Amino acid sequence: MVVKANTLGETEWIHLTKRYFRFRYVNGNLQQSEFILYQSLGAGEEDININQAVPITAVAPLSVELDKSGLTDDGRLKVQTEGLNLSSLDTQAKTMDFVFHDKTETIGEGNLFTVGSFKTLLIEVYGTAETSELKFWGKSLSGTKRALRGQKVDDGTFATSTKGKSEAWSFDITGFKEIVMELTALSNGNFSVRGTAVS
């Protein structure tokens, strides 16, 4: 089956094999109506049971064969989408771990995090360095780096950078394209920044 984004149309005849389906539709504020398509057992013919009038028009039936290749492991119907701009970040789990800096001993931007559909970010900063400074940035659609205000988890203070270590910071990253944790100062040791993004 193919589903197209922002496309409405009449339902055509569908031949079903070994499945029962219940369809529901809503017409504005009117009460929800439903109809059921089912296959009669033993006769080998498809029957259709319609609860309330539903316009189903077609010159010829649309044949749909449902087999195991069209189903997921838990029995759900696989659907191909057309016209929907979905990236892998839109469909993955609700959290994702990311490493900005891993025991680095040099200053720099480190790894950039692509925001996608994620909305919040929690980072931990730690390391053996005697001194360090980490600046928080969000890159907008234009690619411009903009100061990103974070909230320190333990005391609730807000800042766009930190000179501390063994800290956790929380950020609202909605609308940004990329997140940068720029290490601008570092001496006598290493420094790590790891985070978890939540959609």
Residue intervals of the chain classified under CATH 2.60.120 are 90-198
Round to whole Å and give the CA distance between 28 and 146: 43
CATH assignment, 90-198 = 2.60.120
Place of tokens 């005849």: 13
The pLDDT score that the predictor gives to residue 73 is: 75
The pLDDT score that the predictor gives to residue 72 is: 75
Round to whole Å and give the CA distance between 77 and 19: 11
Mean pLDDT on 9-27? 51
- Reading the block at residue 26, the tokens are 């809503």
Rg (CA), the chain: 27
Instruction: Count the neighbouring beta carbons within 10 Å of the beta carbon of residue 184.
Output: 13
Bigger pLDDT: 125 or 57? 125
> CB-side exposure of 162: number of CA atoms within 13 Å?
24
35-88: pLDDT as tens digits:
555 444 444 444 444 444 445 555 555 555 666 777 777 777 666 666 666 665
